Amino acid sequence: MRTDEPQLRAAYAECTAIAKAHYENFPVGSLLVPKRIRPHFHAIYAFMRSADDFADLPHRPKEDRLRLLADWRRSFAEVSSGNIPTNPIFIALQDTVRKFDLPQGLLTALLDAFDFDANGDVKFETYEELHWYTRRSAEPVGQLVLALFGYQDAERIAWSNDICTALQIINFMQDAGEDLANDRCYFPREDYLKYGIHSAAEIVTSTRAGDLVLFECQRIKQLLENGKRLPKSVHGRLKFELRGVLQGAWAMVRKIEEARGDTISNRPKLTSSERRAILWRALLPSGD
């Protein structure tokens, strides 16, 4: 059974509205992405954004968040069925998965990450444990984007994975104050112990918190360096989209470093003019 065209158009329109309503540091299906692919970016984004919102509902008990995510997972099961989903987001997602033969395991991995967040015990002993999380919360996103453009080889996926993990850690650094206030710590324990900080709760008041953030920035920069060959390895507008993503990542790292790592008392963000400059630089021949 196939969705009729008006229903499908309405479903994609709703996904686009969700994508445009949220602030992001980096392009979300921007004008650099071909028009034919942009709605599919939005379908994937709307699926992720909605699940992320369920996982992060303020003042709601863990049981409610997990129940909403379980319902979302059941709705996702309709994507691979022969039936038309009832939720517009899944109507669009079903069409996108079919047209591009997307690996559904990547979408399931994202749901696993949201379940982890909703459980509320967000703490990591080591960077390897944190990477276990980003392999589910971030790396599938890049792989899905590459698949939309027809790339599923191991080398490009490895570069993409490093970039996506870097982007995720940047987001953790930006949101450190809010996360720590809500008992979520994305700083590995092995890292903050190096700075004489003995518990996640101490990070907020520690005079070494900025040094800790700057240490994580070094890791971010290495990951971005590892993945920098990806834009040059692809063709068409994806090259420019990836340039924009990397330019945005480096711009945010510079902001954090200029603030001496103080992201806990003042959340850094890119201004509209900075975002426009990033997209402009991405179009230049030297954008790599």
pLDDT band at 159 (very low <50, low <70, confident <90, very high): very high
For the chain, give the mean pLDDT: 90
Question: What CA–CA distance (Å, rounded) separates 26 from 30?
Answer: 9
So what's the pLDDT on residue 188? 98
So what's the pLDDT on residue 228? 96
Q: Among residues 179, 140, 130, 188, which one has the least CA distance to residue 163? A: 140
Share of the chain above pLDDT 70, in %: 93
End-to-end CA distance of the chain: 45
Residue 26 has pLDDT above 50, yes or no: no
Residue 241 · residue 26 · CB < 8 Å: no
Question: What CA–CA distance (Å, rounded) separates 251 from 258?
Answer: 11
Task: Give the global pTM.
Answer: 0.88
Q: What domains can you pick out in the chain, each with its CATH number?
A: 1-119 (1.10.600.10), 122-288 (1.10.600.10)
pLDDT tens readout for residues 49-97: 999 999 988 778 899 999 999 999 999 998 888 788 999 999 999 999 9
Widest Cα–Cα separation across the chain: 61
Q: Among residues 157, 165, 174, 143, which one has the least CA distance to residue 265? A: 174
Q: Residue 16: how many CA atoms within 13 Å on its side-chain side?
A: 13
pLDDT band at 25 (very low <50, low <70, confident <90, very high): very low
Helix/strand/coil for 259:
coil
So what's the pLDDT on residue 138? 95
Residue position matching structure tokens 């790292």: 253
Q: Which two tokens stand for residue 129?
A: 């444990």
pLDDT band at 276 (very low <50, low <70, confident <90, very high): confident
